[in-house]
Chains A and B, each alone.
Chain A
Amino acid sequence: MPDWQRFIREKLADAAISGIERENLIAELANHLEDLHAELLASGIAEPEASAQCRKQLIDIHQIAAAKRSQIWEGGMNQRTRTVWLPGLITLTMASGSLALMQLFAFSRPRVDWFERGTDVIGVLWLLLLVPCGALGAYLSRRGGGSRWNSIVASLFPSLTMFAVFCLVLPIAIFFEGNAYIVHHPRYFGWGLLFWTVIPGVSLFLGALPVLGKWNTQNHARTDRPQTSG
């Protein structure tokens, strides 16, 4: 019997598909050709003719590879949306929404100021509320089939967003607005970073911990090729 795997591998040499997906595609198509070849031989067709008919099936192999590539790309996007973006955005909405609501309704002071006494309580309450927010993000990511890292990113999404904002604020303030205040007072920038990114991040992560603890290796086994007998 011809070595169909080698034959397909050669045909796909210039196809833009790699890694495990490439190997899976080669294995699937080679299996198909092996079956077809065996069936043709069983029906009484001579080997050269059977091989030729099988080879003819691969005329449009690049069409198959393109469909596979498209599936991987779109599947990857869907997977990322399900396991990172959507849980992350929900966590961010919950975190920022809870802070806004507390400021609007529960307390007379309209803003959180970490440096003023009396308003600390809002911050502490918010940090406590971030614990279930982090848990929710991690849970939604895990339920969507996310890996451990996906769940961590989803739960820390509000902190990561704030970190990104801080990273943007610095160059914008210095280079576009010509504001040298931050440069002369880096300590304030550091405090801001600590109170808006690191400490909330710790709260969120504490919430995510029980969910991450339940996370098992099966969630991560999405290589599409389990070794099951049957």
Chain B
Amino acid sequence: MKPIARVGVFLCRCGNKIASRIDLAALEARVCRDENVIHCETMAYPCQKPGLELIIKAIAEKGVNRVIVAGCEGRLMMKKMETVLEPLDLHKGQIDMINLRGHVAMVSDLTPELKAEKGAKLITAAAAEMVMMAPSLQTLAKIEGPVMIVGKGVASFTAAHELALNNRKCLVSVASGNPDAILADLHRRYPGESQHHERLKKIISETVASPHVELITQGELSGLSGITGEYTLTFSAPEGAGPLEYRAGAVIACMDAELSPPQDGFGYDGKNVLFQPELEERILRAGIPTGQIIFWINDYEAGYPEFSQLSTRSAWSLAKSIRDRSDKPRILMMYNEKMPIPLSVAERSVSRKLGILWVPFDKAVYPTLQDGYISFCNLNDHVEHEIPWDLVVLSPQRQLGESEKRTARILGLLHKEERFLTGHHVRVRPDMVGREETYLAGSAKYPCDLHEAMRQGRKAAKKTAEMLQKAEDNELYLPRVVCVVDAARCVGCGQCQELCDCGGISVVEGGGGGLPRVVDPMICMGGGTCAAACPYNALTLQNNSTDQREARVAALARQLRPDEVVAMACAWGGLPAADNAASLGLKYDPRIHILGVPCVGQIDPSVLARAFLAGAPGLVLIGCLPEECHHSFGLDHAWSRVNFMKKLLTLCGFDRQRIALAHADLNKPEEFIRTAESFVQTIAALGPIEKTPENISKLQSLYAMAKRNSRVRFLLSAGLRRPWETEFRGDQRHGLDYDQDFSAVLAEEFMQTRVMELLKMEQRFFNLQEIAGKLNEDENQVGERLWEMVHDGHIKRSFKNHQPLFGLN
């Protein structure tokens, strides 16, 4: 049974900062009048020990189970509130904060009474949200079974070694368990790293011998299903046998990047012009080469300067091992003048002793390989010099191999068709930082040397072991703000899975369409754009749902004056910008009412529509700067939804400018103020939406469409920017023709919705003229729509005196 919400509001005087600017007695009186609030109290500092003790007392006495603290920035104070109130069974989502100081008190010259009014609007809106909130249960994460290490990278062994040290069972999928065979092949992916081979050999032997480790040397990874804690991995068996299935609690991927010869233009021929792994191969097979060997560190010229240091280290270590074993070959390193040489002082001295020459060349002129000579432009005299060569060694190209790509795709790691698997920006909770390290290691993540790959493997295993230990000790709770799928409503269209950037959504079992999806709460980051995109409202962001936000925005919009606007500001751009404007003492138009949201991408179109239905004259979404969204593409998705609303507003005959998307940088509060003021002025010039019966019925249709029309919602989600779409041309997220088609569909569906709403309301039969007259639309268009609706079975047609009448089925 859903417990009844009992909302307690605690107002902060903040010394004198709030009390001197807001009439707190009036504010308290207003909040007390709100039927959703059972307790309201003003205190000196609710955030300090004395204040917190009073809050705890009030919660116990009044049976409060939702808390709103109206004081300062929730971004800073929420953690403390949550920590203090957790023992009282109040968790994330049940506590909210209103920035009374930063959004009301400090930022305008309103009278204390008017500020009290504004504060009361924000607080009662938050209370309305709290009443709609259905808190989820605190659930322990269950992670059992062995750890599966896939990907066949060399880091697999260090990871397995570390897990074995922690007495954790693990299954390791590798090509072979023979240390000598592995080391003999290692130069293909990590050239010039023989100094680590002995250590690695020991690790491999120990790992293979460990009772905790089971090697899987046969079959390729072909499938993964389930969620964290209960994964099932399938391996295709060789030669016709049935597929092998393994169960695992956690998965670590250890993969190495593939090295290939440089592209055309460097004279590579595989005989005398080689790339690094080939040189090592030749040394292994045919011994030390003789003559003049030139290492050309060509990463700058080949277009990947970021790997030049890595290539130089390999080249240096190869050169050193050659000179260590024979003093016959002469060795010369050629490098772009822009590259700093990654050698220590001691190594430089070794290099001098071994007679290895380092020759920088002018970055403006690329060296040219000719018969017997290589020419380059000298830095000092700008003369083209020539050096004879017998063997030229180039840097390798690095990229993901096909088998690594396949594995990454199965594991849901490959969201963007890029060269490597690292993703940097998706860090929205601190526990997410470093999570990347718990499942990914090796040079396929980002090019690195052998030592680093081995370290990453160890680190991934360590983090996984820590997680398993926490789960075992019953200390690991599932995150509270994550998406959940209502399997009964899910039709398996897969929109959410395509849009999800965290890879937390998967098909319940097996493959194919039409199957419901399931969310892995340990992976979901609570971005919520998937929930807002669901055509059938089957996905909910728990503890932060669309219903809650609708209630909040409606409660606020109902109380607004005709020239006041709602702003929904994202926690990474708009909201901190507003907070910072206040701490800098800036002032702005008080008619803007700010609601904080974690990401503008999680605002469902129905929330936008609800704001207008409840009477808001204007609504602005203030997100991050373009391409800097913390939640994958939340900002772009908000753009599409705003665009959708603009179309609907036009269909209603209202001005498109009533809704807008804006961008804010948290560190540029002055720009945020310009955004706010410009929008407020636009809306003030437009005036309110008149509350005529016709307008109200149009807004009702608008809301019904945004909320429930699956066709429209599906089309909207289909047009959202996908995580793998890296190109962004600035003006169009998708083609103009898509947009035009979408407008046409909207017009059609809007007319249909209005007809349905009319018929539902009146519950009788109408003729064409009546309907067209009631809707105030063109008779021909209405007629056309009505025939189609009859044809599609949405409404019924009957005849009276040979005249068609239309009504509900």
State yes or no: do A and B come from one complex: no
A residues within 8 Å of B by Cβ? none
B residues within 8 Å of A by Cβ? none
